[in-house]
Amino acid sequence: MTPTFRLGTVDDVAAIADIEAVVFSDPWSADSFVSMVHAPNAELTVAAEGGRVLGYSVLLLAPPDADLANLAVVSYARRQGIGRRLLDHAVQVARDAGVIHMYLEVRQSNTRAIAMYERAGFRDFGTRKRYYRDPVEDARVMRLDL
């Protein structure tokens, strides 16, 4: 697969929300993604191929910090580097915005995502107890120093 990466639009929200509902047990609503399209401090990026959204990321910018609030790839397109390319894009956007520290939260049990973040240079920063619902689980807070 050779997806293109671009800013997400309102037209992408239905596909994004569909992926979100499958990937996460406590998904964001479609309205949340619409608000990200319009928020001046957010960048919603999609990976698309042939008109189909394969993945997306949401970066919230508040220089000198940024938060990678969401990143997901549709199941049939995983393990092809799409998630890493979305992550790399978000890191570059953060750098360009003058961000010094980029943060994210990830489920303690999500070992594949943790490994990807560690390969990108993120390190453990702390824990948010009982951060996730359905099932309840702690979040690892990770930070990348830019």
- What is the domain partition of the chain in residue ranges? 4-145
What's the first-to-final CA gap in the chain, in angstroms? 30
User: Which residues, given as ranges, of the chain have pLDDT below 70?
Assistant: 1
Quote the CA–CA distance of 144 and 104 in Å, as a whole number.
9
pLDDT of residue 104: 97
**Rounded Cα–Cα distance for residues 32 and 144 (Å):** 25
CATH architecture of residue range(s) 4-145: 3-Layer(aba) Sandwich (3.40)
pTM of this structure: 0.93
The catalytic residue among 117, 118, 132, 137 is: 117
Given 105, 118, 131, 132, which residue is catalytic? 105
Three-class SS of residue 107? strand
105 part of the active site: yes
**pLDDT for 131:** 85
Q: What are phi and psi of 109, to 5 degrees?
A: -85, -5
87/124 Cα distance (integer angstroms): 17
Determine the pLDDT at residue 133: 86
Whether 117 is catalytic: yes
